[in-house]
Chains A and B, each alone.
Chain A
Amino acid sequence: MIRRMPWWLAGILMALLVLFTFSVFGANRPFGASTYVPYFAGILFDLSPEKYPYLKEVHFAGAWEGVMLLGALTGGFLTSVFITKSFRLSIMPTGWKKYKNTSVISRLVWSFVSGFFLIIGARLAGGCTSGHFLSGMAQTAISSMIFGGVVLLSLIITGKIFYKSEANDV
């Protein structure tokens, strides 16, 4: 049996987590997950917030999401080791082998490039799947609905173009 929580239970619990984060009992702010990246970049490359206005802007949100991220890493690690038992070192997702190619170099180069642009895109839009989809759309924010529509469209068009439509068995 695959150890997995059904989508509806995960959806309900995720809604409760978002509500707790918003509430005055929790964090009294929206849930988000992409601001920590420039914040960490600032720390790793030792950039001064005095010199770079963007670092000043994300000072608080970046720190909050940085701590949240450490929790997410811990939660993900514990669950993958003890509950889903899916922890293993791997480089190539099965789906990539099946629908793209079997080259490790290709996967790693594409990972790096798409990771780079993922953050550029999220920071341009002012949020990501967590900040805009989960928190933003729950507030019925128009900005998040625009983002949601654009992302769904470009995601599905890319899925159609980038991957093979007819896959061979692995």
Chain B
Amino acid sequence: MFERILNMFTTVSNEAHGSVFVVFMIGLVFGVLIQYSRVDKFEKIAGFAMLRDTVVPKMLFLAIGLASIGLYFMVEAGYASYHPKPIILGGLIIGGTIFGISMAILGKCPGTGPVSIAEGRIDVLVGAIGGIFGGLVFTLYYDFFKSIMGESLGKTTLVSYFNGHENLSVFVFGIILIIVSIVIPLRQEFDEADLQQLKES
């Protein structure tokens, strides 16, 4: 097992997707942002599912809107390339439904979960152990899951539908998301520790 963990670092350093240090730093900054904005909290994600907290969608829509515009121009300038995921209808619809239900109950997603564990949440650690078994079952019965996922209908992007107007369409897309992020009313759900801090101030 130890050898395979070392192998993980070797694999990353042999690939042209950033050095081990760069990849580690990307994760570190991600962890800081998620923790500092507190969107790793149960009250934020399950709270969003209950429509009692809107910090997660506001932040997410703003980030996507800005990134979509920035990324388009970076691709045009040759500094990045698109890697869209394939349209696999069965996988997206069944997987998305299962994912949404689980996210509402666990109150975490695969990115925010580890950050929560890092701040001492034992229930999320139990969820992560469940996740490891989920990953195990998926690996063992991949043939079965593959039959649910269905055939790929291509890696289409929205801008590719607007031939000749890609600049404008990605700009409109980005601006709409940014506006959505601003107009969603700010609602907040606090946990006990937050409320204590609020009282102190």
Contact = CB atoms under 8 A, between A and B. Distances in A.
Interface size class of B (residues with CB under 8 A): 35 or more
B35 A27 contact: no
Given A4-B36, A80-B118, A159-B50, A124 B149 contact: yes
A120 B137 contact: yes
A116 to B, nearest CB: 4
B95 A63 contact: no
A134 B105 CA distance: 21
Contact of B157 (A52, A74, A123, A139): A139
A39 to B, nearest CB: 8
Nearest to B105: A114
A143 B134 CA distance: 23
Interface string B91-133: 1111111111111111111111111111111111011111111
A27 to B, nearest CB: 4
Interface residues of A, number: 137
Interface in B25-51: 25-43, 46-51
Interface in B124-162: 124, 126-140, 142, 145, 148-149, 155-159
Contacts of B94: 121, 124
Contact of A46 (B1, B58, B64): B1
Given A123-B145, A140-B170, A75 B84 contact: no
A75 B29 contact: yes
A68 to B, nearest CB: 4
Contacts of A149: 96
Interface in A10-38: 10-15, 17-31, 33-34, 36-38
Contacts of A33: 109-111
A60 B116 CA distance: 25
Contacts of B9: 63, 67
Contacts of B148: 124
Q: Which 9 A-B pairs have the closest CB atoms?
A: A71-B27, A75-B31, A159-B49, A124-B95, A154-B100, A115-B130, A115-B127, A11-B62, A125-B95
28 contacts: A1-B197, A5-B36, A5-B37, A11-B63, A15-B66, A18-B63, A41-B132, A54-B139, A64-B12, A71-B29, A80-B118, A83-B36, A93-B43, A93-B121, A112-B126, A115-B129, A118-B103, A118-B130, A119-B132, A120-B95, A138-B68, A139-B82, A140-B68, A140-B170, A140-B173, A147-B96, A150-B100, A159-B51
